[in-house]
Structure 1
């Protein structure tokens, strides 16, 4: 008598992740072929152009196939995996045939023997019996080698894609490392320790696979390309936006040097007056520049806008959603402090800290990376004085902040050493002329030089 159980193979496709995203890169598979998954269990970690997210599967059953290796980019709607879902054919159907049916479906797809599975809804004890194959030798990390065992199948568990990137840059095989994290998770510290210990050679080039020393007077052999780096994820989004900005926006830049000595003194006084109520968060210079910028946009609102060429109109925004450029290991991101015009300096500072930490952890959501109306670019943290940045399309302007350094400066009629910063404003010339841009920048500089000026408008 045939078992009263039907096995359906359901295909789960990459869902629409919102914010107009059309593709995503597989960062890490969270399940293997043959694993039992529950409804809404995360099965894969993907990176979009705006954030990194875990994707849950809407089906419960046994994974029978996966589509795409880690690092593969898939369009929305492409198959991610298939799941064998058991459905009883009638009341009172025995569970044992159901177990065998799911097990058989998994075996046919994976070639592995699965032993000890319960039903799809309630997985019981399980173990995986791997097909017979080559065994590890001591030189490959086996017993007595003194090296951690080398993983021979499945994805390598790492804490983030930044770890994979760091390993690739140093020619490291992550399978040769034993992770110090939970369940053998490989952390950045593990990779950096291996690099510092000299256990990983730098990537080699040349036809023989090794860098050759060139003797004096010899012509070095050309080895061709060193590497190829795909413009995907956040890097791809930045490339597209920067190219579009340069194509569409007739931008101009003006700049001014400002004496930031009094601003530094004001910040020192603020932080010295901190109480336990403040939570120990010191006010950053970026937060002060952000507060000054919001006040300046209140006086020159045309710079808080964008241009719609199809409608042939300038769209001026009532709210200031202040973006700030932040460099992370995953590339440049621009988190947005929303409704900055309604926030105090303390509130702006808290939000800057939160968004910066989320950016470094790769945990920013699409909503936190979109919708900005004006951007701050603190390139001074890289040790440079000035820059002419590209406007963050579709915004109309960007304020740049250089490093603050001691310089000779005429102060109150006498030469003195003062802390000077160079400020630049890159603006869309369709939105305003030089008079508006210069007035905005001069007001910002006045607030930097005399923070009391700001008190008139806050």
Structure 2
């Protein structure tokens, strides 16, 4: 007897709580193998193919293409067992396909032999003469497409669907624990003495999300200051509405959270980068892979963070503690056709300038091709933002939550500069540091920025840290 297993959207990486369905790779009735990719989703900043851990016949899919699903919500159900094995036995011929149709997000799968042609047509006769039958899946009007499949595969698919329908309904309707997206949500509710059973989740099928819990906590703490309901914005004639979802939506949410949670401050300084650029030119003339300016600045940052570890930290608001992190995972802003991405160079503090250059080049190429993995986009502890590539001198960066600081670098251009007591034309760069004022005061932030500027002006200072 086949058993129907439900496959839920897995955790796709640190901090990623939802994904948008971009393209289904399988349809209802398809036979799938263990670890076969079944859907392509877009997370905060990456396209990911999600493999299914079960082998068998797909009996239902949940969510249309373009739908956002939170981690932990159902993706599809798969019937596994003896009938699934028989369905995968005879391979269909080149003129046939797998039985397919899309189940609704809350429905179950069923199967029946149907005639897809209008009354009076000869479609059923053609099916008999070609040795194929037409099989449709769905519930009532939810039956989508019909495809011709071979009789042996059709019989197996029909048998699977007949046993799968009640099993799928059982999965969807069974009584169980409170539908919560993750252990983090349960912990947040427990620490704030919040009864999850009193909440109504805003996720699919009542799934309780972190936003639901945080909203309930805010309401319990200050009911008189409840946020007003959002007011719909009138759309002028000719205006275009662009949904804030996918990568753009994730960026908007993260930046908004940064500004609402982090009391940030910014300091900046101009630095003479003439000697740094001369050192880079000498390195590149010596042969080997080219050394980028970004790699030199990254090496300076890791040396500065070793001196000022307060800026390589994060704030645990639940426990009211500053968590100083043991290593530097350096994020850097990379502009692509799909928008701004922040790949992360893991263990940047342990890499040489050559190693940093190679990793920056690899991650930048992957970002432009859209092939970055969630692991390569998460886990950063400090971010370096080289906005000088856009031809601007300065900026006040927004901290990449939940980090504690971000260093911004403007363009390096010739400017009048007093050098050794005389006016000269030097290559000057503006450096800006935005920092979380909870982790340190201005003296620490200023000391970090001054050390970075000193290393830019006198690269030989780095020899002390090599």
Q: TM-score, normalised by structure 2?
A: 0.66
Counting only pairs closer than 5 Å after superposition, residues 324-335 of structure 1 correspond to structure 2 as 324-335=332-343
Distance 1:425 1:111, change over 3 A: closer
Q: What is the CA–CA distance in structure 1 between the aligned matches of 2:263 and 2:76, rounded to whole Å?
A: 46
Contact 1:34 1:114 in 2 (8 A): no
Change (3 A) 1:247 1:46: same
1:360 is aligned to 2:368? yes
Of 6, 16, 19, the residue aligned with 2:14 is 19
Structure-2 change in CA distance of 1:287 and 1:87 (3 Å):
same
The one of 260, 271, 277 aligned to 2:273? 260
Once residues 78 and 296 of structure 1 are traced to their aligned partners in structure 2, the CA distance between those partners, rounded to angstroms, is 43
Of residues 149, 152, 161 in structure 2, which corresponds to 1:115?
A: 149
Partners of 1:443 and 1:411 in 2: how far apart? Answer: 19
CA–CA separation in structure 1 for the residues paired with 2:438 and 2:49? 41
Structure 1 unaligned regions, length at least 5: 1-5, 124-221, 276-280
Partner Cα distance (1:315, 1:238) in 2: 24
Cα displacement (A) at 1:433: 2.0
Structure 2 matches for 1:296-315, cutoff 5 A? 296-315=304-323
CA distance in 2, matches of 1:68, 1:339: 38
**Taking structure 1 as reference, are residues 45 and 415 closer, same or farther at Cα in structure 2, changes over 3 Å only?**
same
- Say if 1:8 and 1:87, in contact at 8 Å, map to a contact too: no
- Distance change (3 Å), C-alpha of 1:20 and 1:450: closer
Aligned to 2:285: 272
Q: Which residue of structure 2 lines up, in the alignment, with residue 244 of structure 1?
A: 257
Alpha-carbon shift at residue 85 of structure 1 (Å): 5.7
SS class of match (2:136): helix
Do the aligned partners of residues 25 and 225 (structure 1) sit closer, same or farther apart at CA in structure 2, a change above 3 Å counting?
farther
Moved more, 55-64 or 324-333: 55-64
| Unaligned ranges ≥5, structure 2 | 100-110, 113-133, 138-143, 158-234
Q: Which residue of 2 aligns with 1:385?
A: 393
The CA distance in 2 between the partners of 1:89 and 1:382, in whole Å, is 56
Contact preservation (8 Å) 2:35, 2:52? yes
Over the aligned positions, Cα root-mean-square deviation in angstroms equals 3.4
Contact 2:57 2:84 in 1 (8 A): no
Is the CA contact 1:16–1:77 (under 8 Å) kept in the aligned structure 2? yes
Instruction: Give 1:448's aligned residue.
Output: 456
Q: CA deviation at 1:315?
A: 2.0
SS of the residue 2:75 aligns to: strand
User: Per-residue CA shift, 1:217-240, capped at 9, x if unaligned?
Assistant: xxxxx9536322222233222222
Return the match for 2:292 from 284, 288, 297. Answer: 284
Spell out, residue by residue over 1:34-92, the C-alpha distance to the aligned partner (whole angstroms, 9 max, x if none): 544333321210112253211223444554554433222123344434556673599x9
The answer on 1:31 being equivalent to 2:26 is yes
Q: CA deviation at 1:18?
A: 4.6
Check 1:380–1:111 CA distance in 2 against 1; reply closer, same or farther (3 A cut). closer
Residue by residue over 1:92-120, the C-alpha shift from the partner in whole angstroms, topping out at 9 and shown as x without a partner, is 99x89x999x9666812155242347659
Measure how far apart 1:19 and its partner are. 2.9
Secondary structure of residue in 2 paired with 1:431 = coil
Kindly indicate whether the alpha-carbon contact (under 8 Å) linking 1:34 and 1:107 is maintained by their aligned counterparts in 2: no
Preserved contact between residue 263 and residue 438 of structure 2 (Cα < 8 Å)? yes
Q: Structure 1 residues 111 and 235, CA, compared in 2 at 3 Å: closer, same or farther?
A: closer
Q: Corresponding residue for 1:317?
A: 325
Greater helix fraction, Structure 1 or Structure 2? 2
Q: Is the 8 A contact 1:65 1:83 kept in 2?
A: yes
Which aligned pairs between 1:196-211 and structure 2 lie closer than 5 A? Answer: none
Q: How many residues are aligned here?
A: 345
